[in-house]
Amino acid sequence: MVHRSTNGQELISALSQRITGEWRDIIHYKSGPKKGTIEVIEGENVITDGMKIVIAALLKNDTRYKGITYWAIGDGNVIWDVPRQPQIFRLDFTDPVTTQGYAALNLNTQPITVLLTLGWTPAQVCDAFLAAQYSTWAVEKLSSTALQFTSTYAGNRTQGSSYDPISTGAQGVLSLMQEGSDSTFRPQPLPTDKQLGHEFTRKYVSPEDINYIDSTGNAVPDPTNILEVYSVFDETEAIGVWREFGIYGGTATSTPNSGQMINHKIHGIIDKSTDLMVIERRLRFTFR
C-alpha cells in the first residue's frame, strides 16, 4: 500500500467540503412601504476552521468549550455596497400630469414599491423625489418628460420592473438602460476567517433553538447528520444595517468577537434601522 502525505491545508479543505451550511431568512415587514409583505432570502455560507476546533474539543469532553451559543450580526463595511456597474432605469412620461401625487416603481430583485412624488404645473417640467427609505436609488431629471434612476449599491438588481401612475395620471414607459452587477468590494468569506468584518451585536442561542433534522427535513429527537439553528429577531433586536453574520461557539460569550466562529456569510443589505421588521433566521449544517 502506498501512503501519500497530505499537508494541513489539504486536510482542512477536505474536511470543509464534508460540512455544508445553508441559510434562510424570512423577513416580515411591520412598517414602511413594504408593511404586511414577506421576503425570503436564502443561500449557502462558508464553514470556517473554528468549527473543527469546537468539534475536536467536544469529542475530547473539554469542559472549557461549548457547542453553538451565539448568533453574531455585523454591519461590515459600507464600501461593500458600491456596485461595479450600477443598474440604470429610465422613465419616459407619455402623458402630462395634472395632479400632484404618488406613482410607484418596482426596482428591485425582490418586488418592492418605490414611491415617487410627482409635482407638475402646466408651465413647469416634471420633478420627482424618492421616499427616504430608498436612498439606495439616485433620481435625476433628464428632461421635462424623463427621469433616470441609478442604483447606488450592489443589491439593486432586478429580475423585472414595472411602473404604476396610481392617482397621478402620469402615464409612462420604464426602460432598463444598463444591467447592474455585484460589488467588486464585497469580499468572499474564507474558511480561515476568525471574526466578522465588523460585529455589532449578538443573540444567544439556547439548546431549544437547535434541532436534529432528518432526510425529509423534519425535526427529530435523535441525533442525525443535520443540525438546524433557528431564531427569531423581533422588531427591537439587532437594530442596524445587516451585511454579514456568523455562528459562534467554543469559548464564546456575549462579548463581540469572543469564541470560535464556525461559519461566515456576507450578504446584501438588510436595513433594520429604518422599517420595523421581524426576521426568522434558519441555518442548517450538514455533515456528509
Give yes or no for residue 109 having a pLDDT over 50: no
State mean pLDDT over 2-10: 45
Tell me 15's DSSP state.
Answer: H
Tell me 189's DSSP state.
Answer: P
Give yes or no for residue 110 having a pLDDT over 50: no
Output the nine-digit C-alpha cell for 76. 461590515
| Alpha-carbon gap, residue 131 to 26, rounded angstroms | 24
pLDDT at 17: 55
The two beta strands, 19-29 and 277-287, are antiparallel
State mean pLDDT over 89-117: 62
pLDDT at 112: 44
- Nearest Cα to Cα of residue 72 among 212, 157, 208, 197: 197
Output the nine-digit C-alpha cell for 254. 456575549
pLDDT at 145: 76
> What are the residue boundaries of the structural domains of the chain, listed by start?
14-80+185-287, 83-178
| Alpha-carbon gap, residue 283 to 212, rounded angstroms | 12
Give yes or no for residue 15 having a pLDDT over 90: no
Ramachandran category for residue 207: left, alpha or beta (phi over 0 → left; psi -120 to 50 → alpha)? alpha
Largest CA distance in the chain: 90
Confidence of residue 121 (pLDDT cuts 50, 70, 90): very low
| Alpha-carbon gap, residue 232 to 203, rounded angstroms | 10
Give the chain's length.
288
Return the amino acid letter for 271.
D
- What are the DSSP calls for 253-271, one per residue? -SSTT-SEE-EEEEEEEEE
CB neighbourhood size of 286 (10 A): 15
pLDDT at 125: 41
Output the nine-digit C-alpha cell for 223. 441525533
pLDDT, tens digit (0-9, with 9 covering 90-100), for 141-179:
787 778 888 877 655 555 557 777 776 667 788 888 887
Q: Which residue has the higher pLDDT, 133 or 52?
A: 52
Which range is most confident: 16-30, 72-86, 137-151, 228-242?
228-242
| Alpha-carbon gap, residue 128 to 103, rounded angstroms | 10
Phi, psi of 16 (to 5 degrees): -60, -35
| Alpha-carbon gap, residue 21 to 265, rounded angstroms | 10
Confidence of residue 5 (pLDDT cuts 50, 70, 90): very low
- Nearest Cα to Cα of residue 141 among 150, 133, 132: 150
Q: Which residue has the higher pLDDT, 205 or 111?
A: 205
pLDDT, tens digit (0-9, with 9 covering 90-100), for 225-256:
999 999 999 999 999 999 999 999 999 999 99
Residue 80's SS3 state is: helix
Q: Which residue has the higher pLDDT, 244 or 187?
A: 244
pLDDT, tens digit (0-9, with 9 covering 90-100), for 128-141:
554 434 556 777 77
Q: Mean of the per-residue pLDDT values for the chain?
A: 81
Is the Cβ–Cβ distance between 67 and 85 less than 8 Å? Answer: no
